[in-house]
Structure 1
Amino acid sequence: MGTSTSSKGPASGVSLDPPWLDDVIDGVGSGCDVVPPDDGADPGSPVVPPGIAPPNRYGDARRAFGKFARTGSTDQLRRAIGHYSSKGGGGAGASANRMRASTSAGAALFSFLNAIGQGSTPEARQWVDNLRATNPSAENVVDAIVRELAPPGGSADEESLRDSMDHALSELIKDNPAIDPLSMGVDNIWELMKGYLANEAGNRLCFDLGPVFENSQLDPRTAVQREREMRRFLKNEIGAHVDLLRNSVANPSRSQLASILQEALKMTFDLFEADL
C-alpha cells in the first residue's frame, strides 16, 4: 500500500468510519479452520456511533507531516500524528476504533501463529504438515499465512491488511533468519505484532493524508528514507505500549488480544495528542 499517490484522503462531512469496515472484520480468517472463531464479545464493535468528519479534518496533520517529510524532524512527525488523531480521527479512542479491522486481523494472526507453532489442534498440525510437504521457501510460508487469514476483497483496508501481514512477517524473518514462521514462540509473535501495527498505522496515515511525500518534492531516495523513518518511529512508539500491555491478560483469547492491540494504539494516539 505504502504512500499511495491515488488517494487524497477521505472527505469531510462523512462518517469517521467507512460503511464497509465491519464487513472487512468479518472477512478476516473467515475461511480458516486452524483457529476456531472466538467465543468472546467482539471488542471491535463501536461503543458509540462514529461521528461525522469536520471540514479540513487533516489540514494541520498534513502541514506537520509535510515538515517532517522535508526535514526528518520527529517532533513534526509527533505533531502530525497528534493532529491526525485529535481532529482528523475524532480523538484517540475513535482513531483506535477506526483501526479495529487492523487489531482484529492482528489478533487472528497472533492466534494462528500460536496454534501452528504449538500444534494445538489437529487442523493446525495438518495445515503445517501439508505446507511442509511442499518444501516451501520462507517467502512461500509467508504467502500461505497471509492467504489463510487476510480477507480477499479489494478495499484499501483489505489491501493494507495483506500488505502489513506480509511486511511484518518478511521483516521479522529477514532480521532473524533462525526464526521458523511455522513454529514461532510467543515472544517472537509479540515482536511481530509491533511491526504489523506500525505498518498498519503507517498505511493509514499515508492513505488518509494523501501523497504528502510526493507533494513535498523530495527526491525518490529521500522519500523512501522518510517513509522508513516513519515506520521505524511508529514501531518503537506502538511497541512500547504493546510491551506494557502484553502481560495484562494470561493466555488471552482472540477478542482479548484485539482489545490489547487496540488499547496500545489508543495509548499511542493519546501520547501524541498530549504533546500538541
Structure 2
Amino acid sequence: MGTSKSSTGPSAHVPLVPPWADEVGSSTPDGASQQPLFDADISTLTSPIAPARRFGPARRNFGNFARLGNSTDLRRGLAYYVSTGYGGSKTFTRRMGGTAATGGRLGALLASGQTADGTTLHDLTLARGSDANAVMDAIVTAVRPEDGTQDGEASRRSVREALSDLLDRFPDADLFKLDDVQRSFVIERYAALDVYQRFFLDMGKVVIAAAGNTPSGLGRLREIREFIAQSVAASFRRIRGEKGTATSANIAELTQHALAQTFSIFEEYLD
C-alpha cells in the first residue's frame, strides 16, 4: 500500500509527460547498440498539455467503486484514468518511462550481480550489513538513487516492496543469485507497484474519502493494487509468449511494452 501523501492529481495546463520522463533508450547498460525486441518504439514526440478537469470521470467511477465495490466501476475508472487523465495509453506509457528504465537497471543488476560501472552487489552491501534488509536497501539505492523527486521516492518504495514480496513468495530465494523465475517476478511486481504508486498519488484521497472511512478505503485500494498487479503480470506473460524471455539488455524495453499493453487494455474497458 502506498504511503506517500496522496493528492487530488496533477494540475491542468501542464505537460502530460514531463521532459525527464522519456527515459527508455535503445542501448545496453554498457552503451552498446542492441537489436530491438519490438518493431515499433513508443513515441517520444512533444508532450500534449493536460486539459482542465482531466481526472473528473475517473474520480466519479473510482468513487462509485469505493462505495459499492462494483468491478465495472473499477474498470471504467481505470479506463478514464488512462484515456482522459493521461491522454491515452501511449502518452501514459511515456509518462511511466522512468518505471521501465528503472526496471531495466533492476533486471541487469539482479542478472549480473553488478552495476553498470562494475560495482558488485556484494560490495554495495558490505557497508550496510549482511541480512536481507541490507541487501534490499543496497539494490534500491543502486537502481534508483535518491533524487528528491516524487517519482523517485515512489519508485524506490516500489523496488523495495517488490523485493519484499519476492521473499514472501520465495522464502529461500538468494538475493545475490536469483533464478529466472524469481527475477521475472521482481520485475513484474516492481512495474505493477510503480504504476499503483502513480495511481495512489493521483487518486488515493478520492478512494479513501468516497469509502467513508480509512479502513474501508484502504481495503478498496488493496483491491485496485492487486487488479493492476494481475493485469501487468498478464501482459508480461503475453509478451514472453510472443517474444521469448528478455535479456538484461532489453528488459527496459520489455517492461515498457508490457505497460503499454496493460494501459491499452485499460482503455478498452470503455468499449
TM-score tier (shorter): 0.7 to 0.9
Confirm or deny: 8 A CA contact 2:104 2:252 kept in the other structure.
Answer: yes
For 1:109, the equivalent position in structure 2 comes to: 106
Confirm or deny: 8 A CA contact 2:140 2:160 kept in the other structure.
Answer: yes
> 1:159-195: per-residue Cα shift (whole Å, max 9, x none)?
1110100011011112221111111011111111221
CA RMSD in angstroms comes to 2.9
User: Which sections of structure 2, spanning at least 5 residues, go unmatched?
Assistant: none
Question: What is the TM-score when the length of structure 2 is the normalising length?
Answer: 0.85
CA spacing shift, 1:175–1:218, aligned 2, 3 Å: farther
AA in 1 matched with 2:261: M
Query: 1:83 offset after TM fit, Å?
Result: 0.5
62-71 or 137-146, larger mean C-alpha shift: 62-71
SS of 2:47's equivalent? coil
Confirm or deny: 8 A CA contact 2:82 2:89 kept in the other structure.
Answer: yes
For 1:79, the equivalent position in structure 2 comes to: 76
Confirm or deny: 8 A CA contact 2:110 2:178 kept in the other structure.
Answer: yes
- 2:54 pairs, out of 54, 57, 74, with 57
1:100 aligns with 2:97: yes
Percentage identity across paired residues of the two chains: 32
For 2:247, the equivalent position in structure 1 comes to: 252
SS of 2:247's equivalent? coil
Query: 1:6 offset after TM fit, Å?
Result: 4.9
User: Which sections of structure 1, spanning at least 5 residues, go unmatched?
Assistant: 27-34
79-88 or 244-253, larger mean C-alpha shift: 244-253
Question: What is the TM-score when the length of structure 1 is the normalising length?
Answer: 0.84
Q: How does 1:1-276 map to 2 (within 5 A)?
A: 2=2, 4-21=4-21, 25=23, 36-40=29-33, 46-116=43-113, 123=118, 126-128=120-122, 131=125, 136-209=130-203, 211-246=205-240, 248=243, 251-254=246-249, 256-276=250-270
For 1:29, the equivalent position in structure 2 comes to: none
Which structure has more RCO (C-alpha within 8 Å, separation ≥ 6)? 1
AA in 1 matched with 2:196: G
SS of 1:21's equivalent? coil
SS of 1:211's equivalent? helix
Query: 1:128 offset after TM fit, Å?
Result: 2.1
For 1:32, the equivalent position in structure 2 comes to: none
- C-alpha separation between the residues in 2 aligned to 1:122 and 1:90? 37
Query: 1:46 offset after TM fit, Å?
Result: 4.4
Confirm or deny: 8 A CA contact 1:81 1:272 kept in the other structure.
Answer: yes
